[in-house]
Structure 1
Amino acid sequence: MPDTSVEQGQHPRVFVADIGGSSIRLGVSDAPGSVRLVESVPTPVDNWEAFGATLEALAARHIGETGSPLVISMAGAIDPASGVICASNVPCVSGRVLGAELSSRLRRRIRMANDAACLALAEAVEGAGAGHDVVFCVVLGSGVGGALVVGGRVVGGASGIAGEWGHGLPVGTSVEFDGMGHVQPVSALRCGCGRLGCVDTIGGARGLERLNTLLNDEQKDSHTLLDDWQRGGERARRTVSAWLALVSEPLAAVINITGASVVPVCGGLADVAPLIDALDAAVRKRTLREFRERVVVPGVFRRDGGLIGAAIVARQDDAREP
């Protein structure tokens, strides 16, 4: 049986899981800021029984029958009143009171947390936002996500959703490329959420590709496009210039509304340092407050942010308990 004991003066061991559409990653944290991955297995996305059995087997192999709680970081919206989750990337759990059902099956307390919120918490407490009171974390992956942390705590609100700037905020429908009054119209795209012109339609990697198709009438993946941009390609420069203008406006609005003093960026696009440098410059031109130092910065946790954030959630929960 795994050893979950804690010697005097040590931090209690925390078990965490990061569940995505491809894999379930189980980790253990023996101290703040540190998470060790113990096993990764494929996620059964369409079979509820297989999903529960997979988590049950992971817990049996690595946590044991001690009743130690488990914090799960997972994409999706969790209703704070009912506990019902909506997770498009793992359809078999949608509509379930997932925390309660897993608690019963695994015979331990399960705490559910949104993956973007966990990532934001990791960046705010132990990453690029450490030392800042208000941190808005942006995810620029295949799509757009975000979460708000104030005073080291994730802001959820009555709906459990806060910081979701990818949906609701509209992007512009025109871009001025040369500063000489030459304006290019940009058609608003229908978003997967049903709305028209959300940031998510053009802000992530797939959105950058859509924008390039609109402007240049060509199909090109985001990696090739950004490589071309860094080499000075004219069509790529046109697309990235439009992307920077369209994305920086709503992001500057978020900073104006929340008062965030730093915006760590995670996700695949954050790996392209010149792009994040350019986004920071574009955002700072549009904020009401004049930032003398960088505000949009690459995130520290690219791989294990969900696990590290889940461990922070676990320790914050423990601190609340009498």
Structure 2
Amino acid sequence: MIACFDIGGSAIKGAIAYSPGDIRPLPKVATPLHDFDLFASSIERIAADGGADPASLISISIAGVVDSDTGKITCANIPCIHGRQLVRNLNKKLQRPVLVANDADCFALSEAVVGAGRGHRVVFGVILGTGVGGGLVINGKIHEGAGGFAGEWGHGPVSATLAGNPPVAIPRYACGCGQVGCVDAVGAARGMERLHHHIHGISLPSTEIIAAWDAGDQAATRTIDVYIDMVSGPLAMTVNIVGASIVPVGGGLANSTALIRRLDEAVRARILRQTNKPLVIPAELKIEPGLIGAGVLGLMEKAK
């Protein structure tokens, strides 16, 4: 068994992983944001409370990116670890082996090993929620990429300036990553809301837009048509590049199976590989996929 964690800006969630199918959550604690020693000791205490061996491996899924060349993590929402060589620092502080992986990568790994991607060689896990992200798993292993970046299809100036039928002009919105015209700026939940306001001059949360669309509202239907047009093109291009045979989708927008079904139809109409089988599908693991992915990652490392 190993101790595994899913760490974000608000909470540290821990679990004890006995096997990929047997991962038992532990009580979560608030994430210490400004004190690295307290951050490390919180991890150590949760592992000890779960009964993990003091020398055993710790595996962490985190809302940040670790540069595979320098070991430094980019994690602005947890200032005490931002810019640190996190694995090295935790190894020294905890006196035990530590693995750290991006949370979207862990989501993709969990889907590839115990979720919707079982049996598929290339799995591209997509996040559609407060942000647009992704992770790539090939032959059961996370593909990290240069600088720790891979699967980040939500960033880069590729969003369309005309979308929908009939076409509507879409501004190239600024993105939080510092670029302009990213899919993240129109494809995330806030992006859907931005599109609805741009087209109709009305501000609604994404949940209400989707509910109105489900009920047949014409304005919401127009927004969803534009949204699908804008998101499906970059996703289809990504599928063509990575060769994924399955694309599980997590995040808040994936709670709408109808939305993911529409996205799947649009993506399959735009990719080179012709298939009648669903490609873009809701993720199977609705509860703590990052934690499960961290557990799977650690167990795989332990088994080497």
TM-score range, shorter chain: over 0.9
Q: Corresponding residue for 1:120? A: 108
Amino acid at match of 2:277: E
Match of 2:208 among 221, 224, 228: 224
Q: Is contact 1:59–1:106 with CA below 8 Å preserved after alignment?
A: no
Instruction: Quickly say closer, same or farther: Cα 1:81–1:293, change in 2 above 3 A.
Output: same
Q: Is contact 1:78–1:160 with CA below 8 Å preserved after alignment?
A: yes
Instruction: Quickly say closer, same or farther: Cα 1:145–1:173, change in 2 above 3 A.
Output: same
Q: Deviations over 1:103-147 (max 9, x none)?
A: 222221111111111110110111101111111110011110101
Amino acid at match of 1:163: G
Structure 1 residue 282: Cα displacement: 0.9
Q: Is contact 1:202–1:243 with CA below 8 Å preserved after alignment?
A: yes
Q: Corresponding residue for 1:241? A: 225
| Inter-partner Cα distance in structure 2 for 1:183 and 1:273 | 25
Aligned ranges 1:298-317 → 2 under 5 Å: 298-317=282-301
Q: Corresponding residue for 2:137? A: 149
| Inter-partner Cα distance in structure 2 for 1:276 and 1:81 | 36
| Inter-partner Cα distance in structure 2 for 1:248 and 1:129 | 20
Q: Is contact 2:15–2:26 with CA below 8 Å preserved after alignment?
A: yes
Q: Is contact 2:16–2:50 with CA below 8 Å preserved after alignment?
A: no
| Inter-partner Cα distance in structure 2 for 1:25 and 1:33 | 18
| Inter-partner Cα distance in structure 2 for 1:147 and 1:90 | 21
Larger radius of gyration: 1
Q: Corresponding residue for 1:10? A: none
Structure 1 residue 211: Cα displacement: 1.1
Q: Is contact 1:264–1:296 with CA below 8 Å preserved after alignment?
A: yes
Match of 2:279 among 280, 295, 307: 295
Q: Is contact 2:3–2:52 with CA below 8 Å preserved after alignment?
A: no
Amino acid at match of 1:116: A
Q: Corresponding residue for 1:15? A: 3
Structure 1 residue 48: Cα displacement: 2.8
Aligned ranges 1:194-213 → 2 under 5 Å: 194-213=178-197
Q: Is contact 2:19–2:296 with CA below 8 Å preserved after alignment?
A: no
| Inter-partner Cα distance in structure 2 for 1:47 and 1:230 | 46
Find out whether 1:36 has 2:36 as its counterpart. no
Q: Is contact 1:34–1:308 with CA below 8 Å preserved after alignment?
A: no
Amino acid at match of 2:32: P
- Could you say what secondary structure the match of 2:29 adopts? strand
Return 5+ residue gaps in structure 2 as ranges: none
**Identity over the aligned pairs, expressed in percent?**
42
Mean CA deviation greater in 224-233 or 65-74:
65-74
| Inter-partner Cα distance in structure 2 for 1:55 and 1:229 | 43
| Inter-partner Cα distance in structure 2 for 1:229 and 1:142 | 20
Match of 2:57 among 46, 69, 77: 69
Q: Corresponding residue for 1:284? A: 268
Mean CA deviation greater in 45-54 or 195-204:
45-54
Mean CA deviation greater in 124-133 or 60-69:
60-69
Q: Corresponding residue for 1:106? A: 94
Amino acid at match of 1:219: S
Q: Is contact 1:17–1:71 with CA below 8 Å preserved after alignment?
A: yes
Q: Corresponding residue for 1:138? A: 126
Q: Corresponding residue for 2:76? A: 88
Q: Is contact 1:134–1:262 with CA below 8 Å preserved after alignment?
A: yes
Structure 1 residue 316: Cα displacement: 2.0
Structure 1 residue 184: Cα displacement: 1.2
The total of aligned residue pairs comes to: 304
Mean CA deviation greater in 184-193 or 48-57:
48-57
Find out whether 1:255 has 2:239 as its counterpart. yes
Q: Deviations over 1:157-187 (max 9, x none)?
A: 232211110111511110232xxxx321111
| Inter-partner Cα distance in structure 1 for 2:190 and 2:53 | 43
Match of 1:129 among 95, 117, 133: 117
Amino acid at match of 2:212: D
Larger relative contact order, structure 1 or 2 (CA cutoff 8 Å, min sep 6): 2
Instruction: Quickly say closer, same or farther: Cα 1:169–1:259, change in 2 above 3 A.
Output: farther
Instruction: Quickly say closer, same or farther: Cα 1:222–1:305, change in 2 above 3 A.
Output: same
Q: Is contact 1:266–1:299 with CA below 8 Å preserved after alignment?
A: yes
Structure 1 residue 88: Cα displacement: 2.2
Q: Is contact 1:20–1:74 with CA below 8 Å preserved after alignment?
A: yes
| Inter-partner Cα distance in structure 2 for 1:54 and 1:199 | 36
Find out whether 1:191 has 2:179 as its counterpart. no
| Inter-partner Cα distance in structure 1 for 2:6 and 2:112 | 18
Mean CA deviation greater in 189-198 or 62-71:
62-71
